[in-house]
Structure 1
């Protein structure tokens, strides 16, 4: 698991871990509360090597505790998401699956011509950046507990033409992407399975 404070503008963040499946961060990220850049992505990371051509199922469950306000984009407020971050082809392509969020993704969805899709009974807004190197699946009904079959999401993207079956899933991460908190704020991964 990683504290992953990768942005040079990041404020302080402390991680407390019991295991890779159970940990929390206290994050205090600066900004304005309006479309701030991501500062950190504390996460659990699993190294794999799964060609999409043979990946039919990859079930995962999550149980997190996040600040109040998920599912809305406040004019000025905490900005974060709780999400899977999947990397293909040695970090060449990123696929994110947001389960709870306050960050503004709607602009990018409209900018890149996203689509509404239901995968395994879950409704998402999905879009791909113009370079084809980034895909996002934003859950319509946010939740702090649930399950995702990662393979089903990736296979949908292959069928859509957004990914190729020859690509290889190399990293599976789950954590909290934090852009702005304005004060020390706790995010907790209560349980994670993969």
Structure 2
């Protein structure tokens, strides 16, 4: 689960079967599982779905899921700075970066549009627990950006990425920004992780959690974020 800051207040709420805020109902009504708990989670096979509201000043958010490949959130976070949440689907690989195999993922998402939005759609790949964070951004709004400065452009796994590197005060962050944003497609994760090691930018780590979801900074008024399809091949 993603944690970049410590919260002093526990905002946990009971699991909700119907989430309605401001007169707008989320798709959780028909889901196999739903929750509005701050750290609500659901295990389905080797995958875990996380609501994961961790940022200061967060608003309301509920998550629903039928499976690891069909889920989403309804989020109403105020239009203020700072990431409020990272709802995601997570799989733990637990393999050395050089023997991680051919790991790839395909997805199709429906993202909101309009004013009052700040978010990115991204993979979060963790090395050695939470010591090293590889972020792979596939789509984002213009008012958000990665941690650290631009380093270079690189072609990995059949796509071009702008690579940024930095530190968030808790862990190293290696960010790959798609030069052509996309909401449906395949990401080859192995060449990205192995490139970092081969270039001496990241040590030889154990690849642990592989997560996919949205970092949501603002979704004022309440917006739906939907995963229509998701798969991970290891």
Which of the numbers 24, 41, 44 marks the counterpart of 2:89? 44
Q: Deviations over 1:101-158 (max 9, x none)?
A: 114327x55xx34211111221111111157711111111111101111111101111
Structure 1 length-normalised TM: 0.87
Does the Cα contact within 8 Å between 1:56 and 1:152 map onto a contact in 2? no
Q: CA deviation at 1:68?
A: 3.0
Higher relative contact order (Cα pairs below 8 Å, separated by 6+ residues): 1
Query: Equivalent residue of 1:158, what SS?
Result: helix
User: How many residue pairs align between the two structures?
Assistant: 181
Equivalent residue runs for 1:64-75 within 5 Å: 64-68=109-113
Per the alignment, residue 145 of structure 2 pairs with: 105
1:128 aligns with 2:173: no
What is the Cα-based RMSD across aligned positions, in Å?
A: 1.8
Q: Deviations over 1:18-48 (max 9, x none)?
A: 112210111011124xxx2100000001112
Structure 2 length-normalised TM: 0.72
C-alpha separation in 1, matches of 2:202 and 2:102: 16
Per the alignment, residue 79 of structure 2 pairs with: 31
Which consecutive segments of 4 or more residues in structure 1 shift more than 2 A? none
1:169 aligns with 2:207: yes
| Larger Rg, first or second structure (1 or 2) | 2
Per the alignment, residue 189 of structure 1 pairs with: 227
Stretches of structure 2 that go unaligned for 5 or more consecutive residues are: 1-48
Stretches of structure 1 that go unaligned for 5 or more consecutive residues are: 70-75
